[in-house]
């Protein structure tokens, strides 16, 4: 395999984007009938469905917390979501992502309102093209709001990275595979608090700060799209009559 | 104010500050500012800013009338699903029958429906319900439908205006549980009419003058029949 492909040509990236340009994002709230809240999200070629169930009594019982609810996110990649068939079922990667997303969500859901309960968030990756944990978390945020779960903010995630020595926003598939670093960030857009921060690859401190700023800027852009998607679903309810 | 369009708010939306308003239901305060914590409809009541939820689970309140479905009979109690986040406990002392120890399933079994009253909600949100009140019993016959618990006040209407309309024009027996379950009994076509009307109320729950609109609709229907 050719590992030294050129990722930047004439100041443009492989798919013609600028350095600080996001992929195309489409968000739709409330797509599933049986779930309390749900969201379908397309982010470039990523296709993600998030569904929220609960709050309901946490099972097994030893996971219950008598003072607060637990948030139980489950990230799962469909077998057909990648080019080579992925062996179905949880693996090390998806368990890690489930854990970090659960912890990010626990910080914005008002968990004290539902002692002993669990709020289950299922994130299903139908089509993967790099940046699925950000897409999953963003979709989960919309689904939680759609479910009517009390929360302090709608979480949003976005990644930045480094390709060919240049810090860029929102890595695509080849950029992720052949780039030098990937930095997914999730924030609470109201306060600017960081909910999730991971890094893969190498960045100098300057580059890191630059990438973090860029990713947070991307987060705010996506946050507006999330709010618009929720409003679009429910605005028409308010306009009847 | 009646003519104003109802405003939909989403979590984290800024609604005001504590110097001018007070934080009511569905809101939280951070650094002197009031924000919405749920997806809902904004409503201002004197100084209070409230957000009435559009969706979400039923939040049990003591003395609410609810419709429950028995989940599991136990030796001296039943576990009942009342559409809340947790199952509710119905103890044998709280039913009008004389139940022997271990014979609970003779009276209420898995899948049976009951009308009940919320007796107790404690800090850990452990729920208890009771059948010891007027008009509370096991449901036999009829049909149960589900609506969003937040829409129940609209279905009942001001001082029960909406529900009495429905009863008047359809001659059905109707019991509305605060938890979003509605029991309807009557003739088959009338039940269908009630369900259609309730769905309509649910869809247009945010519009003004709904009671009059529904009355006209029911009147027209009634004329067609006779």
b/e per residue B59-97 (b: at least 16 CB within 10 A): bbeeebbbbbbbeebeeebbbbbbbbbbbbbbbbebbee
pLDDT of residue B214: 86
* A154: contact with B, CB 8 A cutoff: yes
Mean pLDDT per 10-residue interval, chain A, length 241 residues: 73 91 95 94 96 93 94 96 94 96 96 94 96 96 95 96 94 92 96 95 96 96 95 72 39
* Residue numbers of the domain that contains A94: 12-235
In a domain? residue A214: yes
CB B51 within 8 A of CB B36: yes
Give per-residue pLDDT as tens, A36-56.
Answer: 999 999 999 999 999 999 899
Please, which residues 67-106 of chain A have a Cβ atom closer than 8 Å to chain B?
none
Residue B42's CB is within 10 A of a number of other CB atoms, namely: 18
Give the residue from B39, B52, B84 with the most A CB atoms within 10 Å of its CB, the best one to mutate. Answer: B39
Contacts of B159 (CB under 8 A, 6+ apart): none
- Kindly indicate whether the domain formed by B65-130 is annotated with CATH number 1.10.730.10: no
Q: Report the alpha-carbon distance of residue B37 to residue B52 in Å, rounded.
A: 10
Which part of chain B has CATH 3.30.1370.10?
143-225
In a domain? residue A2: no
Residue B47's CB is within 10 A of a number of other CB atoms, namely: 11
In a domain? residue A167: yes
- ipTM reported for the complex, 2 dp: 0.87
- CATH entry, B143-225, from 1.10.4160.10, 3.40.50.720, 3.30.1370.10, 3.40.190.10: 3.30.1370.10
In a domain? residue A1: no
pLDDT of residue B168: 87
Please, which residues 39-58 of chain B have a Cβ atom closer than 8 Å to chain A?
39-41, 53-57
Nearest CA-CA distance, residue A45 and chain B, Å: 28
DSSP assignments along chain A, one per residue: -------EETTEETTS--TT-PPPEEEEE---SSSSEEEEEEETTEEEEEEEEEEEE-SSGGG-BTTB-EEEEEEEE-TTSSSSPPPPS--HHHHHHHHHHHHHHHTTB-GGGSTTEEEEEEEEEEE-SS-HHHHHHHHHHHHHHHTT--BS---EEEEEEEETTEEEES--HHHHHHSSEEEEEEEETTTTEEEEE--EE---HHHHHHHHHHHHHHHHHHHHHHHHHHHHHHHHHHH--
Going residue by residue through chain B (226 aa), what tens digit of pLDDT does each one get? 344 567 899 999 999 999 889 999 899 999 999 999 999 989 888 889 999 898 888 999 999 999 999 999 999 999 999 999 999 999 999 999 999 998 999 999 999 999 999 999 998 889 999 999 888 989 998 999 999 998 898 889 888 888 998 888 888 999 999 999 999 999 998 999 899 999 988 888 777 778 888 888 888 877 665 5
CATH code of A53's domain: 3.30.230.70
In a domain? residue A5: no
Query: Contact B56/A116, CB-based, under 8 Å?
Result: no
pLDDT of residue B56: 85
Picking from B6, B11, B204, the nearest residue to A145 by CB comes out as B11
Which part of chain B has CATH 2.40.50.100?
8-53
* Domains contained in chain A, number: 1
Give per-residue pLDDT as tens, B113-133.
Answer: 999 999 999 988 899 999 998
pLDDT of residue A2: 53
A56 contacts in chain B (CB < 8 Å)? 85-86
Q: Report the alpha-carbon distance of residue A239 to residue A222 in Å, rounded.
A: 26
pLDDT of residue B2: 43
Residue B183, classed as helix, strand or coil, is strand
Nearest CA-CA distance, residue A82 and chain B, Å: 34
Give per-residue pLDDT as tens, A140-181.
Answer: 999 999 999 999 999 999 999 999 999 999 999 999 999 999
Architecture field, domain B8-53: Beta Barrel (2.40)
Two tokens at B134?
A: 């007027």
B210 contacts in chain A (CB < 8 Å)? 241
Query: Contact A237/B54, CB-based, under 8 Å?
Result: yes
pLDDT of residue A238: 55
Which part of chain B has CATH 2.40.50.140?
65-130
Query: Contact B12/A230, CB-based, under 8 Å?
Result: no
pLDDT of residue B208: 77
Rounded to two decimals, the pTM is: 0.91
How many angstroms separate the first and last alpha carbons of chain B?
Answer: 40
Q: Report the alpha-carbon distance of residue A25 to residue A129 in Å, rounded.
A: 13
């Amino acid at each position: 395999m050719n590992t030294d492909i050129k990722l930047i040509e004439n100041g443009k990236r492989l798919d013609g984007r600028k350095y600080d340009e996001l992929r195309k994002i489409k968000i739709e709230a409330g797509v599933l009938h049986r779930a309390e809240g749900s969201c379908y999200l397309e982010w470039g070629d990523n296709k993600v469905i998030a569904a929220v169930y609960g709050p309901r009594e946490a099972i097994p019982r030893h996971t219950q917390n008598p003072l607060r609810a637990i948030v139980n996110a489950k990230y799962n990649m469909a077998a057909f979501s990648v080019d080579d068939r992925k062996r179905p079922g949880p693996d090390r990667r998806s368990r890690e992502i489930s854990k970090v997303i659960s912890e990010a969500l626990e910080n914005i859901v008002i968990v004290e309102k539902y002692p002993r309960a669990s709020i289950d968030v299922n994130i299903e990756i139908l089509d993967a093209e790099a940046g699925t944990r950000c897409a999953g978390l963003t979709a989960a945020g919309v689904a939680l709001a759609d479910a009517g779960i009390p929360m302090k903010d709608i979480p949003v995630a976005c990644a930045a990275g480094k390709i060919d020595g240049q810090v860029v926003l929102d890595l695509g598939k080849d950029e992720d595979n052949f780039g030098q670093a990937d930095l997914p960030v999730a924030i609470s857009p109201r306060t600017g608090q960081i909910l999730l921060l991971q890094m893969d690859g190498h960045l100098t401190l300057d580059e890191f700060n630059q990438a973090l700023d860029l990713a947070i800027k991307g987060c705010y852009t996506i946050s507006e799209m999330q709010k618009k998607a929720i409003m679009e679903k429910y605005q028409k309810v308010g306009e009847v009559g | 104010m009646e003519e104003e369009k109802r405003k939909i708010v989403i979590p984290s939306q800024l609604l005001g500050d504590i110097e001018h308003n007070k934080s009511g239901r569905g809101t939280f305060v951070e650094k002197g500012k009031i924000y919405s914590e749920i997806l809902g409809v904004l409503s201002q009541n004197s100084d209070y800013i409230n957000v009435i939820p559009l969706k979400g689970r039923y939040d049990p309140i003591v003395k609410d009338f609810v419709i429950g479905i028995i989940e599991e009979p136990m030796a001296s109690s039943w576990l009942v699903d009342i559409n809340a986040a947790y199952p509710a406990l119905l103890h044998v002392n709280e039913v009008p029958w004389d139940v022997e120890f271990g014979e609970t399933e003779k009276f209420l079994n898995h899948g049976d429906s009951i009308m009940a009253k919320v007796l107790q909600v404690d800090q850990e949100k452990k729920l208890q319900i009771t059948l010891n009140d007027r008009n509370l019993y096991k449901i036999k016959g009829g049909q149960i439908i589900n609506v969003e618990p937040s829409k129940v006040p609209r279905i009942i209407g001001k001082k029960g205006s909406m529900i009495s309309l429905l009863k008047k024009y359809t001659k059905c027996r109707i019991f509305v549980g605060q938890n979003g379950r509605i029991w309807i009994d009557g003739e088959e076509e009338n039940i269908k009419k009630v369900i259609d009307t309730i769905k309509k109320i649910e869809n247009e729950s945010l519009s003004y003058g709904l009671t009059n609109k529904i009355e006209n609709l029911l009147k027209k229907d009634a004329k067609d029949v006779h």
